Structure 1
Amino acid sequence: MRVAVTGTPGTGKTTASEHVETDLGVIHLNEVIEREGFTQGVDDERGSTIADLDAVERWLDGREDVLVESHLAHHVPVDRVIVLRCHPETIEQRLTERGESPESARENAESEVLDVILTEAVDRQGIDSVYEIETTDRSPGAVAEEIEAVIAGDRDPSAGTVSYVEYL
C-alpha cells in the first residue's frame, strides 16, 4: 500500500510523519527530489525548485508499502491521500518563523483557504481516497494517531470537512 501525507507547507507533514508508528517505509519526497536531482529548473518568481514529477514517479515505481510525505505527495500514484490542514494564520506564522518571506507565507495561507492541495488531491486520486486531518492546535502525536487510523483503514474518507473561509 502507498499512502501520501500532503498539505500546504506549514501544516505539519514532516513532524507528524516522524511520529507515525507504521510498518510502511517513510519517504520524505522533498529530500528525494533534492538528492536525486529530480528538478526542471527554478520558478524565478517564487525562488523555488520545480520538481520533475515524471522522474519521481519512475523512482517510486516498484516501491510499495510506503508513506510518502511532501506537499507534492498527492501528485504520485497512491492508494490513500491524507491532506493535513491548518488554519492560515498559523501557516503564515510558522512559515515566517522558518524564514520564508511574508509574500510566500501569505501565498501559502491563501492556498490553504482556497483548498488548493485538497482539490488537487481529489482531482488526482478521487474523493473516496482522500482524508483530511485538521492539525491546528494539535500535537504531532495526535495527528500521527489519525494518520495511523487512515493507514489501518479505521477512518472513512473525509474530503471537504475543513473550511477556513472566515479567513478571507
Structure 2
Amino acid sequence: MESKLYLLSGTPGTGKTTVAKKLKDNNFSIISLGDFVIQNNLFCEEDKKRDTKIIDEEKINSFFSKYLSNNKFSIPIIIESHYADIIDLPCEIAIILRCHPQILEKRLQSRNYSPEKIRENIQAELLGDSTSHMLEREDLIEKGSIFEINSSNLTIEETANKIAEIIQKPENFQDLKAGWLSWLSDPTVQMENYLD
C-alpha cells in the first residue's frame, strides 16, 4: 500500500518545523523539504542578499518522485516547508499554519533574521502568501482539502493535535477551510508597521 501525502506549509516562524517534529512522534513520517533540497543539492542558486537558496522546482519534483518510489513508507507522509505547494504529486490535504504578525515578528527576531527578512516574511503572512500559493493546486481545491490553522496562541502539542484531527476527519473542520483568516481585516494588526 502506498502512503498518503499531506502538505504542511506556512510563513517561516509559524511553527511548521517544530510541529512536524511533534507529529513524527504521532506516527507520521516527516520530510522537511528545505533540508531535503539542501541535502540533495536541488537548488539552482543562492541569493546572498536575502540569505536564501533559489530552488529548482522541476529538479525537486523529479528527484522527490524517484525518492518516494525507492523508499517505501508504511505510515502517512507529511511534507513540511513554506514552499510545500510546489510538490506536484497527488496529496490528500494541505494545512497552512498562520500566525499573528506581531507574534511572528518576535519569533523571527529570536532567530536573528535581518530586519529586511523579517519585514518580507511578515508581509508574506499579512497577504496570506502560503495560502494563495496552495490555492493554485486544483487537485486540492476540487477536494476542498486546504485548511488554515491560526497557531498564534496554540501550543506545539495543540497545533500538532489539530493537524492530526484534520487529517483523520477533515469533514469536521469546514470552519478552517482556506480563506477564513485574514490579517488585513484584523484591527489588532498594526499594518503601518509592516507595509510600505
Unaligned runs of 5+ in 1: none
Task: Please state how far the C-alpha of 1:23 moved relative to its aligned partner.
Answer: 3.5
Report the equivalent of 2:64: 60
Report the equivalent of 2:194: none
Among residues 23, 27, 30, which one is paired with 2:31 in the alignment? 27
Instruction: After TM superposition, list the pairs within 5 Å mapping 1:1-168 onto structure 2.
Output: 1-20=4-23, 21-61=25-65, 63=68, 65-77=76-88, 78-125=91-138, 126-127=140-141, 128-154=144-170, 155-156=172-173, 158-165=177-184, 166=186, 167=189, 168=191
**Counterpart AA for 1:87:** H
TM-score scaled to structure 1, two decimals?
A: 0.92
> Which deviations, in whole Å up to 9, do the C-alpha atoms of 1:77-121 show, x marking residues without a partner?
322110000011111111111010011111111110111110110
Ranges of 4+ aligned residues in structure 1 off by more than 3 Å = 21-24, 154-157
TM-score scaled to structure 2, two decimals?
A: 0.79
In 2, the alpha carbon distance for the partners of 1:131 and 1:87 equals 17
Q: Please report the RMSD computed on the Cα atoms of aligned residues, expressed in angstroms.
A: 1.7
**Counterpart AA for 2:167:** I
SS at match of 1:99: coil
Alignment length (residue pairs): 168
Task: Please state how far the C-alpha of 1:22 moved relative to its aligned partner.
Answer: 4.1
Unaligned runs of 5+ in 2: 192-196
Indicate the percent of aligned positions where both proteins have the same amino acid.
29
In 1, the alpha carbon distance for the partners of 2:157 and 2:52 equals 30
